[in-house]
Amino acid sequence: MRNHRGLIARVRLRLCLATVWTLRGSAFVLLFAPILLVMLQSFNGTSYTRIPPSSWSLRWYWNILAREEFAQSFVTSLTVAAIVTPLSVVIGTLAAYGLWKRPFSGARAAQSLMMSPILLPLVVTGLSLLVLFNRVHLRDGLLGIVVAHVIITFPYCFRAVLAALERYDRQLDEAASSLRARPWTTFRHVTLPMVRPGVFAGALFAFVMSFDDFATTIFLISPERKTLPIAIYQYMEFNLDPTVSAVSTLLVVLATVSVLLIEKFIGMDRFVGLRA
């Protein structure tokens, strides 16, 4: 009787494990299959969609360079990201250091407030900023995009630096103070070098988020300025060739490399706050 019950328990356990792994595999396929299909389509030798491709070619990657709107929008996206990244790093680093250095009873609420821009739908953020910029008569499209991107990217820098500070030994600051080092000198020569991986990870994440943003930017572009995601969207309105797949593949590679670098320097679990 006991052997029979043990056999039933083992069968149930194996069925549960098989179900869990089936669900995991299905989720993996559901998430990554579309991306793999897009990447595969970017090497299609023909101008129509066919999976698998009947021929292979890099012509659509060369077409990216040949299209003027992609070159101009790439420069615009790169310019915006290059401006946004240092601003987000400075704001996020100072905010994280202030909350870590001088904790108070409402620190948790303050952290939630700092992270709130990424909790709101980007469409809502973009529409709200459009109304605000119209009210204050802000006509410069580039400036508006920069302000919007700083709002939606600095929380990533804040989270990354705060994760690094949570692993920082406060006794190092106390040792520097005992040697009569001023607070700014301690921060510059002791604290900042120790949390540099977090700063780097936040900067990398801010750059990628700014470069790839579409939902917020679509409300703020001007006729003479558009970013790369906007150019892709407008290109798809009149063209269905795999050029868009090629651009998307490059963006996926950029995002993947960024995540790998964040994992190497700080760890994604620490970055998202799962582990101190």
H-helix segments, the chain: 2-41, 59-66, 68-101, 107-115, 122-135, 141-165, 171-178, 183-186, 192-194, 196-212, 228-238, 243-265, 268-271
User: What is the model's pTM?
Assistant: 0.74
Mean per-residue pLDDT over the chain, rounded: 80
Does 83 have pLDDT greater than 90? Answer: yes
Count Cβ atoms below 10 Å from residue 20 Cβ, excluding itself: 10
Do 127 and 160 touch, CB atoms closer than 8 A?
no
Does 188 have pLDDT greater than 90? Answer: no
Does 225 have pLDDT greater than 70? Answer: yes
pLDDT of residue 215: 87
Does 272 have pLDDT greater than 60? Answer: no
H-helix segments, 2-41: 2-41
Domains of the chain: 68-271 (1.10.3720.10)
Does 13 have pLDDT greater than 80? Answer: no
Does 106 have pLDDT greater than 70? Answer: yes
Question: What's the distance, CA 66 to chain centroid?
Answer: 28
Average pLDDT over residues 184-208: 82
Does 69 have pLDDT greater than 50? Answer: yes
The fraction of the chain above a pLDDT of 70, given in percent, is 91
pLDDT of residue 102: 78
Average pLDDT over residues 220-246: 81
pLDDT of residue 85: 93
How far is Cα 171 from Cα 59, in angstroms, rounded to an integer?
Answer: 58
pLDDT per position as a tens digit, 125-183:
888 888 888 888 877 778 889 999 999 998 989 988 888 888 877 777 778 777 777 87
Does 107 have pLDDT greater than 90? Answer: no
pLDDT of residue 268: 56
Hey, which residues does 56 pair with through a beta bridge?
Answer: 44
The fraction of the chain above a pLDDT of 90, given in percent, is 8
Amino acid at 141: G
Of residues 95 and 56, which shows the higher confidence score? 95
Average pLDDT over residues 100-104: 77
Sign of CA dihedral 268, 199, 98, 210: negative
Do 60 and 260 touch, CB atoms closer than 8 A?
no
